[in-house]
């Protein structure tokens, strides 16, 4: 494991506890901090040398929990050394560097997995299952709120800090992933910190649907909620309600169209459906335990992880388009795609 800072201890604990893995070493330039993490998981070798870790032929994989600006060189070095890689979100600090990482993993035949932890929570796994089964019908909208009185980051704005969670979840649960062509984003810096502390992001989805994300470091209350509306049912995920994280409402608007020859939306009969509310039973398991298991299974089965490098790139492409939209005072900006290198921003 490379990086013993904020997220590293959580990864160390779960990889140490996983029956699929042996935690071989913790690598951090701050040896004292690495030793503290190693002691917390029962004792693991510690080193400040990444070269030492990558040169160890007994090590099969590397988990990277360092700042996003360092992901590109560390991931490329690990892949070149023949190691499978799981890397903390966001995948990289730019879309172009993320593409290089994904291509390197493909060339070396190795797994590159993005640690989109929320995607492996029991609640989000259930949401993905319900949408795939058509239980909600066609998706009409996704409205996500992630706000709290949070730590203002020194190197990224609120979009890059909080929105990757919501974007990665949407990419995971929506049929076809986060398939968006343009993004509009408005950010505000009312404290004069030099970066947006409050942000709103809107993305048109397929067939006229829309997704919206609200992120905020300045809210006195903490909210982690996503509302997903479909033609059949609407689902609400409240991550801060452990008694009922997922609720499904058989409520919505029905549009009974007249004959196709004469009817339009204005001539339709609109009715409101008021049915039952259902809360699925969810197993209790830490998301990172599922992450560790998925990483191992993808390597054994020689398949892409469910949150692979491409999913990380889709999140990055939206973040970069959001930054460009902010600079253009909210004007919609095209989202880069993976179809050709010409799509990669210079």
Q: Is the pLDDT of residue 344 over 50?
A: no
Distance from C-alpha of 39 to C-alpha of 32, rounded to nearest angstrom: 11
Helices (runs of H) and strands (runs of E) counted in the chain: 9, 14
Please tell me the pTM assigned to this model.
Answer: 0.91
Interval 182-206 mean pLDDT: 96
The answer to whether 248 and 279 are in contact (CB under 8 A) is yes
Identify the pLDDT of residue 256: 65
Identify the pLDDT of residue 269: 73
pLDDT band per the 50, 70, 90 thresholds, residue 120: very high
Segment holding 47, helix H or strand E:
strand 46-47
Cis bond before residue 90 (omega within 30° of 0): yes
Average pLDDT of the residues of the chain: 93
Identify the pLDDT of residue 291: 98
pLDDT band per the 50, 70, 90 thresholds, residue 266: low
Identify the bridge partners of residue 26 per DSSP, sorted by sequence position.
46
- Which phi-psi region, left, alpha or beta, contains residue 302 (left: φ > 0; alpha: ψ -120 to 50)? left
pLDDT band per the 50, 70, 90 thresholds, residue 184: very high
Interval 100-119 mean pLDDT: 98
Identify the pLDDT of residue 346: 33
CA distances from 88 to 120, 164, 289 (A): 14, 11, 15
Alpha helices, DSSP H only, in the chain? 8-17, 31-40, 50-54, 71-80, 95-108, 122-132, 158-173, 287-300, 309-327
The answer to whether 45 and 25 are in contact (CB under 8 A) is yes
Question: Angle at which helices 287-300 and 8-17 pack, to 10 degrees?
Answer: 60
The DSSP annotation for 57-105 comes to TT--EEEE-S-GGGHHHHHHHHHHTT-EEEEESSS-SSHHHHHHHHHHH
Q: Is the pLDDT of residue 261 over 60?
A: no
Terminal Cα distance for the chain, rounded: 32
- Domains of the chain, start order: 8-117+288-308 (3.40.50.720), 119-283 (3.30.360.10)
Identify the pLDDT of residue 265: 56
Identify the pLDDT of residue 339: 62
Query: What sign results for the dihedral spanned by CA atoms 46, 50, 52, 55?
Result: positive
Task: Give residue-wise pLDDT tens across range 238-249.
Answer: 999 999 999 999
User: 345 phi and psi, to 5 degrees?
Assistant: -60, 145
The answer to whether 336 and 315 are in contact (CB under 8 A) is no
Q: Give the closest residue to 142 by CA, choosing from 121, 120, 116, 163.
A: 163
Helix, strand, coil percent content, the chain, rounded in steps of 5? 35, 25, 35
The answer to whether 79 and 110 are in contact (CB under 8 A) is yes
């Amino acid at each position: 494991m490379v990086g013993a800072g904020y997220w590293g201890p959580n990864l160390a604990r779960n990889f140490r506890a996983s029956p699929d893995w042996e935690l071989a070493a913790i690598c951090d330039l701050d040896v004292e901090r690495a030793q503290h993490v190693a002691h917390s998981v029962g004792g693991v070798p510690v080193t400040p040398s990444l070269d030492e870790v990558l040169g160890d032929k007994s090590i099969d994989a590397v988990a990277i929990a360092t700042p996003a600006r360092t992901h590109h060189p560390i991931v490329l070095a690990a892949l070149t050394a023949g190691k499978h890689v799981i890397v903390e979100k966001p995948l990289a600090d730019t879309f172009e560097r993320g593409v290089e990482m994904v291509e390197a993993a493909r060339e070396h035949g190795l797994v590159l997995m993005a640690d989109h932890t929320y995607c492996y929570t029991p609640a989000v796994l259930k949401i993905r299952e319900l949408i795939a089964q058509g239980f909600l019908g066609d998706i009409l909208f996704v409205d996500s709120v992630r706000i709290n009185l949070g730590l203002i980051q020194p190197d990224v704005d609120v979009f890059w800090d909080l929105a990757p969670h919501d974007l990665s979840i949407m990419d995971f649960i929506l049929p076809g992933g986060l398939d968006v062509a343009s993004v509009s984003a408005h950010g505000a810096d009312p404290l004069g910190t030099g970066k947006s502390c409050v942000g709103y992001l809107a993305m048109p989805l397929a067939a006229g649907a829309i997704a919206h994300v609200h992120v905020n470091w300045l809210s006195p209350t903490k909210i982690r909620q996503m509302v997903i509306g479909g033609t059949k049912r609407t689902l609400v995920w409240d991550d801060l309600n452990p008694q009922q994280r997922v609720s499904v409402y058989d409520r919505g608007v029905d549009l009974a169209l007249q004959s196709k020859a004469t009817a339009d939306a204005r001539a339709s009969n609109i009715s409101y459906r008021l049915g039952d509310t259902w809360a699925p039973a969810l197993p209790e398991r830490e998301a990172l335990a599922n992450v560790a298991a998925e990483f191992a299974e993808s390597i054994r089965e020689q398949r892409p992880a469910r949150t692979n490098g491409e999913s990380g790139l889709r999140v990055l492409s939206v973040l970069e388009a959001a930054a460009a939209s902010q600079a253009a005072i909210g004007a919609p900006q095209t989202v880069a795609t993976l179809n050709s290198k010409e799509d990669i921003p210079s």
